[in-house]
Structure 1
C-alpha cells in the first residue's frame, strides 16, 4: 500500500478545509447588502447547511496545522537523535545548537498557498472591515477628512456596507494604510469584488514580509526558524483573518517584524523607519521603537540611541504624512478604539454592570463603561510594562510580543486577529516553555470564536457551528483510521 507523504497530506487536508470554508462564505460570509451585490449573495437561503460545512472545513484546516506542527516536532527530535549518535542526517545550526528543521520559507509559502488559496477568492470573512477600508479609501480620494468624519459622510452603496454602529466613527488607521486604501479604491473604481481582491493582494504583501523576515528574526533570537514559521505564519488566524478578512494587521506586522529584524542586524536607521511605517498603519506597532532603542543602545549608548531613533521616527512620520496629503488627524484618532461599541473584556464588564444596575432599577449611565474601559487600559499597560521590565531575561523581541499580547487581550478593543500582534513575535522569540503551547492553543480557540459573517451567533447558529466542528473531527478520525492499514503494511514489510 502506498502512503501519502506527510507534507502532501496536511497540505491537502488544509486545502480541502479552506475550500469548504470558502464555499460556505458564499452563503454565510460577510456578504454585501446593496442592490449591486454579486449573484452569489442569493445563496443566503442555504445559510444553515453552509455554516455547518464552513465549521467542518475550519476544523480540517486547524487539524492540518496541528498535523504540520507534530510532523515538525518529530522531524526535529529525529534530527537531534541522529546528531547525538554522530550522524549528520540533520543539518546543524552552529548559532542555536540545534538541527535546522525541514520547514523553510519556500515550504511554508507553498503550504500557506494551499491553505489560503481558496480564501483569496471568497467574500470577506469573519469581519466587514474590508468594506470600511474601501469606503475610507474612497473618502481619501474625495478629499473627505477621514479623521473627522465617519463613512456616513461619503454616502452611497459603499458606505452602506459598513455596520451602522461604525457609520460615524473616524478612521483609527494611519496615513500609510489609508493611502494604500485610497490607491485600491482608485484602481478598482469602487467595485466591491475587485476592491476586496485588491485588499487581499495588499495583505499578501504583508504576509510575504512575514515569511521572509520571521525566520531571520528567529535565528537572531536563538529560536528554530521552522518553529517560528509554523506558529507565526501558518497558524489558522493568518489565512482566516489576514487573507480572508484582508485585515491591515498583515501590513503592520510585516513591516514591524522586518524592522525589528534589521535592528538585530544593526541597521538601526532602516529599522526605525520600518517600525514607524508599521505604526502609521496601526498605532500599536509604535512600541516596536523601544526594541530598536534597546538594541541600538548596546552599540551607541542610550542617549544616542534615543536621539537617533526619535529623529528617524519623526522624520519618517512627517515625510509620509506630507507625501500622502492626509494630514495629522491620525494623532487625534488614536483614541478611536476607546469606544463603547468596541468589544473587549473591559467593555463586556461595563455592559454587564449597566445591565445589573438596570435590573436593580438604577440608571448608571455611561459611568460603568468608562470606568471599566479605563481599568482595562490600565491593566493592559501594567501587564505590558511588567513584560518589558523583564526584557533582559526574556530578550527584547519576546518581551515586546508578551506586551502586545497583553494589549490585545486587555485593551479597550479586542478581536481574534489582534492576537497576532503578540503571537508573531512570540513565535520568533519565545524559547521552549509555556508561551509557545499556550499561543498555539489560543490560536486554535480564537479561530472558532467568530462567525464567517462577522456578527455574533444566535442559539441556532451556535448549534450548527458546533455540529460542523463535530463533523470535521469525525472526518479527521476517519482519515486516521484509514491510515492504520498503511502503517500495519509497513510494519509487516519490515
Structure 2
C-alpha cells in the first residue's frame, strides 16, 4: 500500500510547501535593496534551501492531487478552489519571489502618475528609491506593457503614495484577482470544450507555476489571462461584444492576448458559412478597435505602446531564437565577419516566421476547438518569441488545461510544468554553482522527508512468533 492520499492531505502538504516558500523568501527572495543579504550569508543559505524544500513539497502535493482528481471520487471544482486559496494564503505577505519585475511595475506606475512618458524612458528617468529597486538591465528600457496595465499601476501608485511595502501588497492583490478570474473561467471553458472541469482547474489554476510566478511573483500575466478567460466565457455565451471588449483589454495589458480575438470569431462562426465568418470578423474588429481607442484615450498614455512592442529583451534570455542568435553571433565574431550584429535580429525574425507558420497550421489545417487552438497558438508564441520566461508557459497552458482533448496531453503539460517550476532562483538573479547546489540540496531534503513519510505510512507486516 502506498502513501495515503486524499484531498485533505494534499491540501496540508501544499500548504506546508507554500509556507516554506514564504519563510525562505524572507531571506532569499527578490528583496528590496535595504533588506538584501549576501548570497553566502547563513540566512540567505537557509532561505534558499527552504524555498526549494517548499517548491518540491508543493510540486509533490500537486502531483498527488492530480491522482485524486483522476480517481473514482474526484473532488468538486468548489473543493479545488478552496485548496487553491489555502495554498496561496502564505504567499500573500511573502516578499516577491523568482523575479524583480514587480518593482518595474511599481516604478512604471509612478512614472505615469508623474506624467513621464514610459514609452520613451526607462525607470532611471523617475529616479529615487523606487527606481533603484528595478533590475539594472531594465533601468533604461521603455515599458512593453499596454495602457490598461499602466492605468492599474498608476492608480496603485497614487493610492500607496510610492510606499514600497504597500505597493508590493497591492500588486500582489491585483495578481490574485487575475488568478481568481482564471479559476472562475476554467470550469466554464472546460464544460464548453467537453473537458473535465476539475482536471482543468488542477492543471490550469493549481499548477505550481501559477502559485510561484503569478501569486508569489505578482506578474501582470495574471491580469492578462484572467481578462482573456472571462472574455472567452462571455464571447461563447450571450455577450459576445462584452467578450471582445474584455479580450481587447487583456491585449492592452500584454499583446499576446490579442490572439483571443481570432478565437472569438471561431467561436461565433463555428459550423457556419464564409459570410458568417466575414460578418463576425468585421464585428469583432470594430469592437476591438473601439475598445482600443477608448482605453488608450482614457489612459492618456498615447499610442507609444505600439512601438514599445519592440522593446529589447534581456541579453541573458534563454528563448531558442535568442540562444541561437547569440551562438551564431559569437561564431561570426570569431570569424571576423561583419554580419555578427545581424545574427540576433535574423534569428528573431526567423522565430516570428515559424510562429506565423504554426498559427496558420493550427487554425487552417489542424482546426481543433477554438479554445484549444488558442492555447496551442499562445504556446507557440511563447516558445518561438524573442523572450522566454517560465511564466510565459502559462499563456498557452491556461487554455490547454481547459480544452485538452486527451489525458496524455495533460500529462505531458503537467510534466513540463513541474520541470519549469524548478528553473528560477527565488531572488530572480542568474544562478551560480553554489546556489544551484543549495537549491538542489533543499529539493533533495524534501524528497527524503516525503520518502520517510511514505515509509512511515506503509502498514507493517505482522511478525510471526516462532514456535518451538
TM-score when normalising by structure 2: 0.93
Work out whether residues 264 and 295 of structure 1, in 8 Å CA contact, stay in contact via their aligned partners in 2: yes
Alpha-carbon distance in 2 for matches of 1:286, 1:44: 44
Mapping 1:167-316, distance limit 5 Å: 167-298=139-270, 301-316=276-291
Work out whether residues 213 and 391 of structure 2, in 8 Å CA contact, stay in contact via their aligned partners in 1: yes
Instruction: Please name the residue that 2:351 is paired with.
Output: 376
Instruction: Please name the residue that 1:447 is paired with.
Output: 421
Mapping 1:7-22, distance limit 5 Å: 7-22=7-22
Instruction: Please name the residue that 1:469 is paired with.
Output: 443
Mapping 1:102-117, distance limit 5 Å: 102-104=75-77, 106-117=78-89
Q: Using the TM superposition, give the Cα deviation of residue 31 of structure 1 relative to its aligned residue in structure 2, in angstroms.
A: 1.1
* SS of aligned partner of 1:169: coil
Q: Using the TM superposition, give the Cα deviation of residue 4 of structure 1 relative to its aligned residue in structure 2, in angstroms.
A: 7.9
TM-score when normalising by structure 1: 0.88
Work out whether residues 32 and 41 of structure 1, in 8 Å CA contact, stay in contact via their aligned partners in 2: no
Alpha-carbon distance in 2 for matches of 1:14, 1:339: 33
Q: Using the TM superposition, give the Cα deviation of residue 363 of structure 1 relative to its aligned residue in structure 2, in angstroms.
A: 6.3
Q: Using the TM superposition, give the Cα deviation of residue 339 of structure 1 relative to its aligned residue in structure 2, in angstroms.
A: 6.6
- The runs of 4+ residues in structure 1 deviating greater than 6 Å are none
* SS of aligned partner of 2:70: helix
Instruction: Please name the residue that 2:301 is paired with.
Output: 326
Alpha-carbon distance in 1 for matches of 2:140, 2:429: 19
Write the deviation string for residues 203-261 of structure 1: whole angstroms up to 9, x where unpaired: 11111111111100100000000000000000001110000100011110011011112
* SS of aligned partner of 1:146: coil
Tell me whether 44-53 or 6-15 shows the greater mean CA deviation.
Answer: 44-53
The answer for unaligned runs of 5 or more in structure 1 is: 80-100, 490-494
Q: Using the TM superposition, give the Cα deviation of residue 107 of structure 1 relative to its aligned residue in structure 2, in angstroms.
A: 1.6
Kindly tell me the number of residue pairs found equivalent between the two proteins. 456
Work out whether residues 217 and 261 of structure 1, in 8 Å CA contact, stay in contact via their aligned partners in 2: yes
Alpha-carbon distance in 1 for matches of 2:69, 2:355: 34
Q: 1:47 aligns with which of 41, 44, 48?
A: 44
Alpha-carbon distance in 2 for matches of 1:216, 1:472: 36
Q: Using the TM superposition, give the Cα deviation of residue 479 of structure 1 relative to its aligned residue in structure 2, in angstroms.
A: 1.5
Work out whether residues 338 and 373 of structure 1, in 8 Å CA contact, stay in contact via their aligned partners in 2: no
Alpha-carbon distance in 2 for matches of 1:4, 1:124: 34
Q: Using the TM superposition, give the Cα deviation of residue 41 of structure 1 relative to its aligned residue in structure 2, in angstroms.
A: 5.4
Q: Using the TM superposition, give the Cα deviation of residue 340 of structure 1 relative to its aligned residue in structure 2, in angstroms.
A: 5.1
Q: Using the TM superposition, give the Cα deviation of residue 5 of structure 1 relative to its aligned residue in structure 2, in angstroms.
A: 7.2
Instruction: Please name the residue that 1:353 is paired with.
Output: 328
Q: Using the TM superposition, give the Cα deviation of residue 44 of structure 1 relative to its aligned residue in structure 2, in angstroms.
A: 7.4
* SS of aligned partner of 2:405: coil
Work out whether residues 402 and 422 of structure 1, in 8 Å CA contact, stay in contact via their aligned partners in 2: yes
Alpha-carbon distance in 1 for matches of 2:162, 2:427: 22
Q: Using the TM superposition, give the Cα deviation of residue 64 of structure 1 relative to its aligned residue in structure 2, in angstroms.
A: 0.3
Q: Judging changes above 3 Å, is the alpha-carbon distance between structure 1 residues 356 and 432 closer, same or farther for their aligned structure 2 residues?
A: same
